[in-house]
Amino acid sequence: MSTGTTLTSWGAIRLVAGREIMTRLHSKSFVWLTVILVAAVVLGGVVLNAASSSGPTAERVGVTPQTAALAEPITATGSTLGTEVETVDVADDAAGEAQVRDGDLAALVTGTADDPTVVVDTELSPGLTAVFTTLAQQTALSDAVADLGGDPAQVAGDIATAEPTVRTIGEPSEFDPARYITGLVTGILLFMAIMISGQLIAQGVVEEKTSRVVELLLSTVRPWQLMAGKVLGIGLVGLGQVALVVVAGVGTALGLGLVDTSTIDLGTAAVWALVWFVVGFVSYALLMAGLGALVSRQEDVGAVTTPVTFLMVVPYIVGVSVAPWAPDNPLVVWLSYVPLCSPLLMPVRIALGSAETWEALLALGLSVAVVPVLVWLAAKIYSNAVLRTGARVRLKDALRAA
């Protein structure tokens, strides 16, 4: 009648991880958080798109049938002077003036092509003033050239092609809005995801301790298996969450053409963001699991995990406040190699394009190398503290106990 089979370590870890995953997926707050994060990224992209395309709108200038010949020169002059002008054909002076009064047109060109008059509501905008002034000057110049026996078209062509010789002596500006935004979003997303998952780990550990179910669990699985299952389960859920947000963000950016003018490779940045989430999550989750085991009440989780939270906030602040403006700042560069800091900084540098591939790989190697130390540390604290309920266990005692 004995139905028991041997449970391998992996089997135990998988069972624990499976429970964690199901618990998160059934949690309303978790589902809503994911929906909100995805919505925020998509909406952010849409807003950004609207803001950039609604920038300087074209000035609408009406031309009557008598002045229609001027439409092309007005538009051309506008583009030379950096004022986008859109010409609109109107039936006659009266209709055009009505549109000017409505504000539908910025100006109306009446009279004849040789002797135009510009009609405005109150005053001519600075951009259009320049356009019409230039146009008037060119007309005067052409007349003078013709009077002197020259070819106005020839002169106009020479003038158009004349340009000053410019020699650059400073560095070209590298500021790229798409990179800046990607770096910022990456930094914020990774910080949030790692922070939230880490808190879930600590809370989960304390929940088992508070409810005393941990005693039942530890009579069937070893502490490290329980901890590993927890980290794996919550980590997979967190990875799925981050992947969803990243895919939504990249999809929005590509779909709306937000990065068309940028040198950024979103795919690479996205893959690196996921890689760094995994490394960062594992590192911090282990610390959170160990520290969470020290306390027996949810109210104490915040206090006991404060040092780790602080450890996360420093690279985060540097990553979102300094790095986007000065990616080569020595503080940014050096911190991006420090394990526990690199998961929050290096992906920002990668997104900003300030990190070479070898730099990213070096930081990754250093971070991964530290993981076994964290596993050992966390397992020791966890095993020693998780069954000691009541008052908060001092870290020193948890490390010392056999």
- When the beta carbons of 159 and 216 are compared against other proteins, the nearer one is 216
Q: Among residue numbers 9 through 28, which ones bind other proteins (CB under 8 A)?
A: 12, 15-16, 19, 23
- When the beta carbons of 60 and 388 are compared against other proteins, the nearer one is 388
| Backbone φ and ψ of 160, nearest 5° | -60, -35
Contact 87, 61 (CB under 8 A): yes
Q: Provide the minimum distance between the beta carbon of 251 and other proteins in the complex, in angstroms, as a whole number.
A: 35
Q: Provide the minimum distance between the beta carbon of 214 and other proteins in the complex, in angstroms, as a whole number.
A: 7
Q: Provide the minimum distance between the beta carbon of 209 and other proteins in the complex, in angstroms, as a whole number.
A: 10
- When the beta carbons of 19 and 392 are compared against other proteins, the nearer one is 19
Closest CA to 371 of 247, 231, 269, 236: 231
Q: Provide the minimum distance between the beta carbon of 23 and other proteins in the complex, in angstroms, as a whole number.
A: 7
Task: With CB under 8 A as the rule, give the number of residues binding other proteins.
Answer: 29
Beta bridge pairs of residue 62: 88, 108
CA–CA gap between residue 29 and residue 84 (Å, rounded): 49
Contact 265, 55 (CB under 8 A): no
Token pair 């089979």 is found at 5
Does the protein bind other proteins through residue 4 (CB under 8 A)?
A: yes
- When the beta carbons of 3 and 57 are compared against other proteins, the nearer one is 3
**Which residues 6+ apart lie within 8 Å of 327 measured at CB?**
183, 349, 352, 353, 354
**Which residues 6+ apart lie within 8 Å of 398 measured at CB?**
290, 293, 294, 380, 381, 384, 385
The pair of three-digit structure tokens given for residue 143, joined into one six-digit string: 């007349």
Q: Provide the minimum distance between the beta carbon of 226 and other proteins in the complex, in angstroms, as a whole number.
A: 9
Closest CA to 100 of 125, 127, 119: 119
| DSSP, res 190 | H
Does the protein bind other proteins through residue 169 (CB under 8 A)?
A: no
Q: Provide the minimum distance between the beta carbon of 216 and other proteins in the complex, in angstroms, as a whole number.
A: 5
116-119 β-sheet, strand order: 85-89, 59-63, 107-111, 116-119
Q: What is the SS3 assignment for 323?
A: coil
The pair of three-digit structure tokens given for residue 330, joined into one six-digit string: 């020595």
Does the protein bind other proteins through residue 29 (CB under 8 A)?
A: no
* Binding window for other proteins (CB under 8 A); candidates: 7-15, 34-42, 111-119, 320-328: 7-15
Contact 276, 343 (CB under 8 A): yes
* Binding window for other proteins (CB under 8 A); candidates: 2-10, 153-161, 188-196, 355-363: 2-10
Q: Provide the minimum distance between the beta carbon of 236 and other proteins in the complex, in angstroms, as a whole number.
A: 18
**Which residues 6+ apart lie within 8 Å of 165 measured at CB?**
none
Does the protein bind other proteins through residue 1 (CB under 8 A)?
A: yes
Q: Among residue numbers 358 through 387, which ones bind other proteins (CB under 8 A)?
A: 387
Does the protein bind other proteins through residue 2 (CB under 8 A)?
A: yes
Closest CA to 214 of 391, 23, 386, 18: 386
Q: Provide the minimum distance between the beta carbon of 293 and other proteins in the complex, in angstroms, as a whole number.
A: 14
- When the beta carbons of 229 and 319 are compared against other proteins, the nearer one is 229
Site string (197-226) toward other proteins, x via CB under 8 A: ----------xx--xxxxxxxxxxxx----
Residues near other proteins (CB under 8 A) are 1-7, 12, 15-16, 19, 23, 207-208, 211-222, 387, 389, 402
